Structure 1
Amino acid sequence: MVIAVLGSAVERKIDKLNRRTTQLTRKVDLILEHLGLEEPQPELAPVRALLVEGKKIHAIKAYREITGADLKEAKEAVESMG
């Protein structure tokens, strides 16, 4: 019972944080658009080089370090590159 209540409270907090993150992202995008700026794309040459060497796990790790992506995002991105 206590675990269910705590789990529910945590889920509500995560949902709230996700909504807030979405709002802030939208605002930043509008500001960048208003100023005529584009978000710089990260340099992924080191990731590509690791893929060429057949070092997929190292490439995923490098992608995460460069972009700040989580493991799932990084894995999907690296797999789409190779």
Structure 2
Amino acid sequence: MDYGMVLLGVAVLAGVVALGTSATDRRLTRVDRRLARVERKLDAIAEKLGVAVEEPALPEVVALVREGRKIQAIKVYRERTGVDLKDARDAVERLG
């Protein structure tokens, strides 16, 4: 077996995976930016119309906050709402 060819194959495969991952990361970054713009626009529309956007009622999260388990509350909040870590932490802080 020619180990040089095997190493070359592994190197090529690693390069292809790296390129694919990089391209996917760039696409996700663009999607995240677009989503943030859409959310800002929706927030502005809701504010202009006087519509109050309330936090989702999550009794499990409230119970965890009352028990002093903020980290678990943040995890559950993220799972239920799909928000990022900062938004979940901010929401849990508002609850407690």
Q: TM-score, normalised by structure 2?
A: 0.55
In the comparison of the two structures, how many residue pairs are matched? 79
1:5 is matched with 19
Compute the displacement of 1:20 (Å).
0.7
Structure 1 residues 40 and 59 mapped into 2: Cα distance closer, same or farther (>3 Å)?
same
In 2, are the aligned partners of 1:51 and 1:59 still within 8 Å (CA)?
A: yes
1:42 is matched with 56
Q: Match of 2:60, SS?
A: helix
Compute the displacement of 1:14 (Å).
0.8
Letter in 1 for 2:48: H
2:81 is matched with 67
Structure 1 residues 22 and 55 mapped into 2: Cα distance closer, same or farther (>3 Å)?
closer
1:21 is matched with 35
Q: TM-score, normalised by structure 1?
A: 0.62
> Aligned partners of 2:47 and 2:71: how far apart in 1?
36
> Aligned partners of 1:13 and 1:35: how far apart in 2?
33
Query: CA RMSD for the aligned pairs?
Result: 2.9
Q: Match of 1:38, SS?
A: coil
Compute the displacement of 1:40 (Å).
1.6
From the CA coordinates, give the structure whose radius of gyration is larger.
Answer: 2
* Runs (5+) with no aligned partner, structure 1: none
2:12 is matched with none
